[in-house]
């Protein structure tokens, strides 16, 4: 009972943030009254969320140093992880899975199964098992794709179909963005076409958000396609440039219609609404850059977008004040949420914007919050960004931009979402001999779970 109360008072408001109040505070809570599978999953999620909250409160911060030398290795304190699942949470999770297995073959239970999938994704992300979370997401996405493709005559009820199409699908579309940002390819056909992605006019911020999510997912699918071939110019089809132009135009159209909506609704906007607007604008600015640079292998192409990066960082820096105004500063500084909101976009800016002042301001934004957005941890994002800065700016004068050969193209770690292993590594991928030459991987190894000495352990071509 205490866990269920904590879910309603703390966990659901944190997960809903601005946009999903009806789902987390209404639909899921209502479903739990009638369905034990949902109720058990709520208990497990609530306990794990509280564990994370208490762990964050106990943490003393992260010591960092942005030098890369063998004589004086950087010292980094990584976010602590849950070592084992609370026994009550684990029993509740197992009970929910068991009950769900009994329901999965019953007619008319699609929405219940999908709600459980969403809760399971949250549970696994808090447990630090990103692979299991992705498995639940893909399973739920397959159910939705099958369900909405059926002829209307086979649907259990129009109300259930509308709930799946209008309430569940947008959540899974946002989960796809989380899935794609970690380099995963979506094999299913996206349920919304580019021409359908932007309505004639937005009627609410939720409507604008769902439209932007569709554009972000379509943009990410395009970017991932280009990642395969942009380092071989002859491999890029002519249609790619047409798709790039179409995506850029749609993002511009979204921006124009969003500004028109903001103008119409400005008189009734609260600070909470402005907070949401800033998040959407940050995401739109970053998506425009994703698409614009997708067909070129040159990292210097990002230098043409410094003004957009600057605008996004300024918007991000305003979020704590807006959070304070609507009495949700704790949600901004220390929270777990299922959606990608600002950690991923600001991390992108911190590694792709080579203006030394702007990228450090972006890292400062990440350092100023304890946010866990899906698989994105703000502290881990800041650590990786600082290592990229150290690699790229080694040996250059203050204020200079790094050369093309010194820039990191990709950087990733094996422990984003909370692996319990004591061994960590960050891999930086560079093209020091030119963008059409071989890749060189710089791998930084870390030992000890909390305080780690960092140095380059290998540099090899792949």
Which pLDDT does position 209 carry in this prediction? Answer: 94
Contacts of 449 (CB under 8 A, 6+ apart): 78, 80, 81, 422
39 pLDDT more than 90: yes
In this predicted structure, which of 255-264, 356-365, 450-459 has the lowest mean pLDDT? 450-459
State pLDDT tens for residues 323-377: 776 555 555 556 778 878 899 999 999 999 999 999 999 999 999 888 888 878 8
Contacts of 450 (CB under 8 A, 6+ apart): 77, 78, 80
Contacts of 32 (CB under 8 A, 6+ apart): 4, 38, 39, 42
State pLDDT tens for residues 401-440: 999 999 999 998 865 444 444 467 889 999 999 999 999 9
Which pLDDT does position 183 carry in this prediction? Answer: 65
Q: Which candidate, 124, 152, 159, places its Cα nearest to that of 138?
A: 124
State pLDDT tens for residues 268-286: 998 889 999 999 999 999 9
Which pLDDT does position 22 carry in this prediction? Answer: 79
21-36 mean pLDDT: 88
Which pLDDT does position 221 carry in this prediction? Answer: 92
Contact 363, 349 (CB under 8 A): no
Q: What angle do CA 309, 313, 319 make, to 5 degrees?
A: 150
Main-chain dihedrals φ then ψ at residue 218, nearest 5 degrees: -65, -35
Distance CA 321, CA 313 (A): 14
Distance CA 423, CA 442 (A): 16
Contact 343, 376 (CB under 8 A): yes
In this predicted structure, which of 31-35, 97-101, 123-127, 442-446 has the lowest mean pLDDT? 442-446
Our CA dihedral for 115, 117, 120, 122, rounded to 10 degrees, sits at -70
pTM equals 0.85
Which pLDDT does position 462 carry in this prediction? Answer: 37
Our CA dihedral for 63, 410, 187, 436, rounded to 10 degrees, sits at -170
**Sheet containing 376-377: order of strands:** 334-337, 370-373, 376-377
State pLDDT tens for residues 175-201: 888 777 766 777 788 889 999 999 999
113-137 mean pLDDT: 90
In this predicted structure, which of 56-60, 144-148, 154-158, 316-320 has the lowest mean pLDDT? 56-60
| Higher pLDDT pick, 182 / 163 | 163
Contact 261, 202 (CB under 8 A): yes
303 pLDDT more than 90: yes
State pLDDT tens for residues 229-246: 999 878 899 999 999 999
For the chain, the farthest-separated pair of C-alpha atoms sits apart, in whole angstroms, at 71
Percentage of residues in the chain with pLDDT exceeding 90?
Answer: 49
Q: What angle do CA 333, 16, 281 make, to 5 degrees?
A: 70
Which pLDDT does position 325 carry in this prediction? Answer: 64
What HEC string does the chain produce? CHHHHHHHHHHHHHHHCCCCHHHHHHHHHHHHHHCHHHHHHHHHHHHHHHHHHHHHHHCCCCCCCCCCCCCCCEEEECCCCCCCCCHHHHHHHHHHHHHHHHHCCCCCCHHHHHHHHHHHHHHHHHHCCHHHHHHHHHHHHHHHHHHHHCCHHHCCCHHHHHHHHHHHHHHHHHHHHHHHHCCCCCCCCCCCCHHHCCCCCCCCHHHHHHHHHHHHHHHHHHHHHHHHHCCCHHHCCHHHHHHHHHHHHHHHHHHHHHHHHHHHHHHHCCHHHHHHHHHHHHHHHHHHHHHHHCCCCCHHHHHHHHHHHHHHHHHHHCHHHHHHHCCCHHHHHEEEECCCCCHHHHHHHHHHCCCHHHHHHHHHHHHCCEEEECCEEHHHHHHHHHHHHHHHHCCCCCCCCCCHHHCEEEEEECCCCCCCCCCEEEEEEECCCCCCCCCEEEEEEECCCCEEEEEEEEEEEC
State pLDDT tens for residues 84-122: 568 899 999 999 999 988 876 666 788 889 999 999 999
Residue 163's pLDDT band, with cuts at 50, 70 and 90, is confident
301 pLDDT more than 70: yes
Which pLDDT does position 295 carry in this prediction? Answer: 95
Distance CA 48, CA 175 (A): 20
Looking up tokens 């109300």 gives 159
Give the length of the chain: 462
């Amino acid at each position: 009972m205490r866990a269920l109360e904590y879910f309603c008072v703390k966990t659901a408001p944190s997960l809903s943030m601005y946009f999903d109040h009806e789902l987390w505070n209404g639909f899921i809570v209502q479903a739990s009254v009638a369905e034990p599978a949902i109720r058990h999953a709520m208990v497990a999620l609530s306990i794990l969320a509280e564990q994370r909250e208490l762990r964050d409160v106990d943490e003393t911060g992260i010591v960092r140093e942005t030098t890369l030398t063998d004589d004086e290795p950087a010292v980094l304190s990584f976010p602590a992880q849950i070592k084992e699942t609370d026994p009550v949470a684990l029993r509740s999770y197992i009970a929910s899975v068991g009950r769900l297995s009994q329901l999965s073959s019953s007619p008319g239970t699609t929405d219940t199964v999908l709600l459980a999938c969403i809760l399971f994704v949250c549970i696994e992300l808090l447990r630090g098992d990103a692979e299991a979370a992705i498995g639940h997401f893909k399973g739920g996405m397959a159910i939705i794709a099958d369900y909405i493709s059926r002829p209307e005559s086979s649907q259990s009820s129009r109300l259930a179909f509308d709930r799946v199409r209008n309430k569940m699908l947008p959540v899974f579309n946002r989960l796809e963005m989380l899935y794609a940002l970690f380099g995963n390819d979506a094999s299913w056909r996206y349920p919304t076409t580019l021409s359908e992605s932007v309505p004639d006019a937005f009627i609410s911020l939720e409507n604008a958000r769902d439209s932007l999510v569709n554009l972000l997912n379509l943009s990410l699918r395009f970017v991932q396609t280009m990642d395969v071939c942009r380092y071989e110019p002859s491999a890029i089809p002519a249609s790619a440039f047409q798709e790039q132009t179409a995506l850029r135009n749609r993002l511009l159209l979204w921006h124009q219609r969003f500004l028109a909506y903001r103008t119409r609704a400005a008189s009734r906007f609260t600070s909470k609404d402005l907070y949401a607007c800033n998040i959407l604008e940050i995401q739109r600015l970053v998506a425009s850059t994703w698409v614009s640079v997708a067909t070129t292998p040159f990292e210097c192409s990002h230098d043409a977008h410094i003004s957009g990066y600057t605008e996004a960082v300024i918007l991000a820096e305003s979020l704590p004040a807006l959070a304070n105004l609507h009495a949700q500063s704790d949600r901004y500084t220390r929270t777990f949420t299922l959606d990608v909101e600002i950690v991923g976009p600001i991390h992108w800016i911190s590694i792709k914007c080579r203006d030394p002042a702007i990228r450090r301001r972006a890292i400062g934004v990440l350092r100023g919050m304890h946010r866990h957005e899906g698989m994105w941890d703000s502290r881990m994002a800041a650590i990786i960004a600082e290592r990229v800065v150290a690699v790229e700016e080694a040996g250059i004068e203050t204020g200079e931009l790094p050369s093309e050969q010194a820039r990191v193209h990709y950087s990733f770690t094996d422990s984003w979402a909370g692996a319990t292993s004591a061994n960590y590594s960050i891999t930086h991928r560079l093209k020091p001999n030119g963008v059409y030459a071989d890749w060189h991987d710089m791998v930084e190894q870390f030992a000890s779970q909390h305080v780690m000495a960092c140095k380059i352990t290998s540099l090899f071509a792949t």
